[in-house]
Amino acid sequence: MSKFSVVAMTTAAQMKDRTAVVTGATTGIGAELAERLAGYGAHLVLVARTADRLHETAERLRAEHGVKVLAVPLDLAAHDAPRRLAQQLAEAGIEVEMLVNNAGISDLAPVAASDPVRLRTVVDVNAGALAEITALLLPQMVARDHGSVVNIASTGAYSPAPYVAAYAASKAFVLSFTQALWGETRNSGVRVVAICPGPTETPMNTRPTPGKRHPRDVADTVVKALNGSRSAVIDGRVNALTSFVFGRLLPARLATRIAERFMRAALPAA
């Protein structure tokens, strides 16, 4: 048994001199969470595809916050990427206190007009890599009786979303996977939570959308959620209401038809 009690789950404010792994860490929500955790004194392992931007981000966070930052350029679409990440962590002797699975990709197109390989990649990155990285790093947390896993899902997890079908389905996996994992670990001292943002100002979502949130809003939600006990938290009251209506009140057929009309308007002009 560690010096931490079973109920003393790791919050953001407790991350000083401990290490967090953040995937998709150079832009959007991932970049904001890395910044926020560095502000709490956390050491970081940043994972992203673009090596130049990743190293620039790492150097800036070291200089501004005085924390250790390991940059790990990896394309999580590669099937061996999660194990390569775990191997680098083991070789560096890094004990991961917090895992933030944020990396995600999307594609706006009808399935019939999509590249089949791209659709598979969306699922592999958003769901497959997340599940494998979690399974690789979670046992250490459970053995220590403390740690945290934050999985970034989406409000799209609550109902089908035409034209981003693979993305929404992969996020439904993330939500269900995280809620099940919460049930498995809730007495272990490990905090597990899914955060479900709606439309957020990120490089993946540049379309003008009323009420669009900022990554710092999502970061605020993550910090608060780590202090709580819920298995899933939706970012923003409007997003929570919308998800409740589309996910629970409306019949699935009607919710899908409404979503289809909304998303069709966002499709690029032919």
> Residue 78's pLDDT is what?
97
| Sheet (strand 19-23) strand order | 69-73, 43-48, 19-23, 96-101, 147-152, 190-196, 232-234
When pLDDT is averaged across residues 249-268 and rounded to a whole number, the result is 94
- Categorize the per-residue pLDDT at 270 as very low, low, confident or very high, splitting at 50, 70 and 90: low
| Catalytic sites, residue numbers | 167
In terms of Cβ atoms closer than 10 Å to its own Cβ (0-12, 13-18, 19+), residue 210 is exposed
Cβ atoms of 161 and 184 closer than 8 Å = no
Residue type (1 letter), 240? A
270 inside domain: no
Tens digits of residue pLDDT in 67-76: 999 999 999 9
Q: How large is the C-alpha radius of gyration of the chain?
A: 18
Tens digits of residue pLDDT in 113-168: 999 999 999 999 999 999 999 999 999 999 999 999 999 999 999 999 999 999 99
184 inside domain: yes
Cβ atoms of 99 and 129 closer than 8 Å = no
> Residue 168's pLDDT is what?
97
> Residue 269's pLDDT is what?
73
Provide CB contacts within 8 A for 164, sequence distance 6+: 106, 107, 108, 156, 263
Total domain count for the chain?
1
Coil, strand or helix at 85: helix
Number of H helices, E strands in the chain: 9, 7
205 inside domain: yes
1 inside domain: no
CATH of the domain at 26: 3.40.50.720
Give the distance from CA 2 to its chain's centroid: 28
Q: How far apart are CA 266 and CA 34, in angstroms?
A: 30
pLDDT for residue 1 is more than 60: no
pLDDT for residue 4 is more than 60: no
246 or 206: which carries more pLDDT confidence?
A: 246
Tens digits of residue pLDDT in 23-49: 999 999 999 999 999 999 999 999 999
When pLDDT is averaged across residues 248-268 and rounded to a whole number, the result is 94
pLDDT for residue 5 is more than 80: no
269 inside domain: no
51 inside domain: yes
pLDDT for residue 7 is more than 60: no
% of residues, the chain, pLDDT over 70: 96
> Residue 239's pLDDT is what?
96
Tens digits of residue pLDDT in 77-93: 999 999 999 999 999 99
254 inside domain: yes
Coil, strand or helix at 22: strand
- Categorize the per-residue pLDDT at 3 as very low, low, confident or very high, splitting at 50, 70 and 90: very low
Which helix (H) or strand (E) segment is 55 a member of? helix 51-65
Residue 209 belongs to domain spanning? 12-264
96 inside domain: yes
| DSSP E strands, the chain | 19-23, 43-48, 69-73, 96-101, 147-152, 190-196, 232-234
